[in-house]
Each structure stands twice: as C-alpha cells, then as structure tokens.
Amino acid sequence: MALSTTAPKAFIQQQNLVEQVADYLTQAIIQQHFLPGERLSEVQLSRDLGVSRAPVREAARLLESRGLLISKPRRGFFVRALNAVELEDVFDLRLCLERHAIQRLAECYTPEAKRALEQQVDVLCKAAAANDGTRRIEEDLQFHRLMLHYAGNERLLRAFDDLTHELRLCITLITKTHEAPETIATSHFQLLEALSSGSPDACREAIDYHIGIARDFVVKGVGETGEHADEDLFSR
C-alpha cells in the first residue's frame, strides 16, 4: 500500500511523478492534513514536494476526477467538502452498485470467489480485533472490492473504485467511533450466506441491510461530530 506518512518534503525521486504526487495528496487529504474546503497552492505544493508545477497540476486534475478536489477556474484547487446530501448520495450510489454486483455474483459464485471472500472476511475480522482503525476500513473496502471483482464486470468495478475515493473521504473523517468487531463479523457473514444461498432476493436484502448499517454509522457520525451540512461547494 501507500508508503506515505511523515516526510512531506522531497521523498519523491524516481518515476511517475504525477502518480506519486496524486498518492501523496490523497493520503494527505484523507488524513486531514488538508482540511475540507482548504485551498491548495500549486507553487506551495511543488515547492514542498520538490517538483515542478506541471506534475502537480496533472495530479490535481486526477484527484478532481476522483472527486477529492474541486477546481475553480482562475482560483485553484480546493479540497472537496461533502455536505449531508452528497453523503447520502454517495451511499445511495454505493447501494446501487453493490446490489447489482452481489446479484451478478450470486449467478456465478465459484468456489474460488467463495474462498477469497471468506479469507478476506477473516483478515478483516483480525484487523477489527486488533483495533486498527484505518486498516479495518481498508480491509472492509477490500472485501467489497473483491465482491465487485468477482462479479465479473470490469466497468462496474471501476465505478466502485471511483466511488471508493469519496467513501474514504467521508468514512475516515468520521470513524473515530468504532464499530464492534462482532458486529462487523456477523454483518459480513450474512453476505456470504446470502451468496451461498444463491437467492437474488436474499442477496439484495443482505446488502441493503449491510450498507444501511454503514450509512447510518456515517450519517450519525456527521450529526455528532463535525457538521459539513452548510454550503461548502455550491459554486462549481
């Protein structure tokens, strides 16, 4: 995964500057080194990272297409801030994609897929037990990504990956509140059971419940902690 962390200065050296800058920015945004709505200065960034502005700009465009940044012409790039409505929309789209995926997957549920998913749930549970917050989130997302992967539609997977960036954005902001490890375990086992049953309805019910839980968690978190419901990025 990402070998990011402390050093903000000049740890970029070799190749694919654009991708490296993009990774750096992504990590920095998720870890809230840049606050939502904050303006990013190209010169500042290029100075800090020891690269020129061209790769920074291209990386910023990439992040914009992923919904992490927003560009205002002649004004620069700003860190995306999600309000309550947008947050609902993200989870609604996630539901849309995963419903479709799990039903497609149920149609072609190979032993290989079954094994991979079970193993991933195992990994996830261990991360949850270890109380490692960020890793728990990543392993959780990875489980769902695997579902999408084995559903056999590359384009669907890409749409999910696009959405994932925004998901990370809102999840990480909030989840100081930890879900109970046993809740996570049972919640995912239900999905596996539904898949094994092969019933589309059971799958749909399971995924609806599962994502509903996650959404409520995030929405509740927003209500409790920080409030981004005000107008943050209306101008587009």
Partner DNA sequence: CGATTGCCGACTGTCGACAGTTTTAACGCT
Partner DNA sequence: AGCGTTAAAACTGTCGACAGTCGGCAATCG
Residues interacting with a copy of itself, by CB under 8 A?
15-16, 54, 57-58, 61-62, 65-66, 73, 85-86, 89-90, 92-93, 95-97, 99-100, 104, 153-156, 159, 162-163, 166
Closest to a copy of itself by CB, 90 vs 194, is 90
Q: Which two tokens stand for residue 169?
A: 């954005």
Angle between helices 133-151 and 154-174 (to 10 degrees): 160
Select the binding partner of residue 165 from a copy of itself, DNA, none (C-beta < 5 to 8 A, by kind). Answer: none
Instruction: Please name the amino acid found at residue 69.
Output: L
| Residue 52 found at the interface with DNA (CB under 7 A) | yes
CB of 45 closer than 8 Å to CB of 10: no
Select the binding partner of residue 42 from a copy of itself, DNA, none (C-beta < 5 to 8 A, by kind). Answer: DNA
Q: Which of residues 56-115 bind DNA (CB under 7 A)?
A: 57, 71, 73-77
Phi/psi-derived region of residue 10, left when phi > 0, alpha when psi is between -120 and 50, beta in every other case: left
Q: Which two tokens stand for residue 184?
A: 């996570």
Closest to a copy of itself by CB, 18 vs 79, is 18
Select the binding partner of residue 40 from DNA, a copy of itself, none (C-beta < 5 to 8 A, by kind). Answer: DNA
- Candidate segments 11-19, 134-142, 178-186, 225-233, binder of DNA by CB under 7 A: 11-19
Distance CA 187, CA 184 (A): 5
Select the binding partner of residue 93 from DNA, a copy of itself, none (C-beta < 5 to 8 A, by kind). Answer: a copy of itself
Long-range CB pairs of 32-37, under 8 A, 24+ apart, other chains included:
32/172, 32/173, 34/79, 35/79, 36/79, 36/80, 36/81, 36/82, 36/173, 36/228, 36/232, 37/78, 37/79, 37/81, 37/232, 37/233
Closest separation between CB of residue 28 and DNA, Å?
Answer: 16
Select the binding partner of residue 97 from DNA, a copy of itself, none (C-beta < 5 to 8 A, by kind). Answer: a copy of itself
Q: Select from 95, 158, 147, 155 the least CA-distant residue to 120.
A: 147
Binding site for DNA (CB under 7 A): 15-18, 39-44, 50-55, 57, 71, 73-77
